[in-house]
């Protein structure tokens, strides 16, 4: 059974009034209680609308941030899903009520009273410690809220949390439209790659990406490495990296990866003494970083080389910026690569996180074939070939067939 073989909405036993527990990913950025980017909410709309058209009632749930205990309060009100409920109400043109708790009497009563087509939202799942601990009792409480389960939270599908793996153990379950699309795209890249297949990987820590690089070598023709993680590769080449970020424990693995001949690393870099918006910068060749200076972006020569490789690709996967793109002195590399991917005639995928933020900031998102909603999940799917949330859905389908 392949990565993409998961049950879909059409496989669910639905009737008028079927109550659906929908695990969505509403982990949106908040600033002073205001949602600054509602992409993840809008991404869930196709699934919600499909369920409403089939006369289901919907109990939606999601986590938001990393809540910590607050003295004298049941939870951190700053991470309440109330802003999400308001925005979801606006997008659906119907009232979406927010339960004052994750599970319990009030949540159960509201769920039981839902009419066909109505939608409610549970409070932040992580307000209950049973979510991350995958506590069996909390799994049961969630499952008892509905008749069937739909997972549309690709960004959380790599977590074996209660809301991800608990309900599929006892309820008929399926993937929502978003999760289905993410798996089809990312799984399809691995199962049916088109060549030349180019991966562009950046970010801060090479330790976060080594497993992904090793997995991609079985599928990709070329892997382009940028970001701070490139300096551990430079260290493996014996190049001077000044005060740039390096992970000494991973130098040998980087040296072995370079020996494959399929990895390109920067030949020049933009450096500064401090990572500041108004920093004075220099442009030096790889290995030319003096002490007291650090590499904060790929240089123009590297950006041009990477762009040429991308231009010839039939398939491109990008995860991780080429530098500190949020600051003008170090944005050139990421912008150039983003523009090259947008102009590429092949199938292009941006793997969530900072890369998705970059293409959005540069106004290029609508020129990418697929922008993933889950950075960590997309990397783990590539590295491991599966996710706990996907496995749980397959096992649920197998039990129904048995």
Residues with a catalytic annotation lie at 40, 205, 353, 376
Contacts of 224 (CB under 8 A, 6+ apart): 198, 199, 200, 201, 264, 306, 309, 310, 337
Helices (H), 147-176: 162-165
Assigned token pair, 113: 């009273």
Q: Coil, helix or strand for 398?
A: helix
Q: How far apart, in Å, are the Cα atoms of 47 and each of 24, 43, 83, 277, 304?
A: 10, 9, 20, 41, 41
Helices (H), 192-281: 210-216, 230-236, 251-258
Count of beta carbons in the 10 Å neighbourhood of residue 23: 30
Assigned token pair, 383: 């590295």
Contacts of 391 (CB under 8 A, 6+ apart): none
- Secondary structure string (H, E, C) spanning 94-142: CCEEECCCCCCHHHHHHHHHCCCCCEEECCCHHHCCHHHHCCHHHHHHH
137-175 burial, b if ≥16 CB within 10 A, otherwise e?
ebbbbbbebbbbbbbbbbbbbbbebbbbbbbbbebbbbb
Contacts of 293 (CB under 8 A, 6+ apart): 242, 243, 271, 272, 273, 282
Instruction: Output DSSP code: residue 298.
Output: E
Residue with the two structure tokens 């900031």: 361
User: What is the full DSSP assignment across 41-63?
Assistant: HHHTHHHHHHHHHTT-EEEEE--
**262 vs 196: CA distance, rounded Å:** 12
Instruction: Output DSSP code: residue 65.
Output: S
Q: Coil, helix or strand for 256?
A: helix
């Amino acid at each position: 059974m392949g990565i993409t073989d998961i049950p879909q909405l059409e496989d669910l036993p639905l009737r008028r009034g079927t109550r659906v527990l929908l695990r969505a990913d509403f982990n949106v950025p908040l600033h002073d209680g205001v949602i600054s980017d509602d992409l993840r909410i809008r991404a869930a709309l196709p699934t919600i609308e499909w369920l409403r058209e089939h006369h289901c009632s919907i109990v939606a749930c999601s986590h938001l941030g990393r809540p910590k205990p607050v003295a004298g309060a049941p939870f951190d009100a700053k991470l309440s899903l109330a802003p999400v409920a308001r925005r979801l109400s606006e997008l659906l043109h119907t009232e979406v009520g927010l339960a004052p708790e994750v599970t319990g009497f009030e949540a159960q009563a509201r769920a039981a009273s839902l009419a066909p087509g109505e939608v409610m939202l549970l409070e932040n799942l992580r307000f209950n410690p049973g979510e991350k601990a995958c506590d069996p009792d909390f799994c049961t409480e969630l499952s008892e809220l509905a008749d069937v389960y739909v997972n549309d939270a690709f960004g959380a599908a790599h977590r074996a949390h209660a809301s991800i793996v608990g309900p599929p153990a006892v309820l008929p379950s399926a993937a929502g439209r978003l999760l289905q699309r993410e798996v089809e795209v990312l799984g399809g890249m691995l199962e049916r790659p088109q060549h030349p297949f180019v991966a562009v990987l950046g970010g801060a820590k090479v330790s976060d990406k080594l497993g992904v690089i090793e997995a991609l070598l079985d599928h990709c023709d070329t892997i382009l490495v940028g970001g701070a993680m490139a300096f551990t590769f430079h260290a493996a080449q014996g190049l001077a990296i000044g005060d740039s970020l390096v992970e000494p424990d991973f130098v040998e693995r980087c040296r072995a990866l370079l020996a494959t001949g399929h990895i390109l690393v920067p030949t020049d870099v933009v450096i500064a003494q401090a990572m500041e918006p108004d920093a004075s910068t220099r442009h030096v060749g790889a290995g030319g970083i003096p002490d007291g200076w650090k590499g904060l972006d790929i240089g123009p020569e590297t950006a041009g080389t990477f762009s040429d490789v991308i231009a010839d690709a039939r398939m491109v996967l990008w995860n991780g910026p080429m530098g500190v793109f949020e600051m003008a002195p170090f944005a050139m590399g990421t912008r150039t690569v983003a523009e090259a991917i947008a102009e590429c005639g092949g199938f292009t995928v941006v793997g969530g996180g900072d890369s998705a933020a970059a293409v959005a900031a540069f106004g290029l998102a609508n020129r990418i074939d697929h922008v993933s909603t889950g950075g960590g999940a997309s990397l783990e799917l590539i590295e491991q070939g599966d996710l706990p949330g996907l496995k749980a859905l397959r096992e649920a389908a197998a039990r129904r067939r048995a």
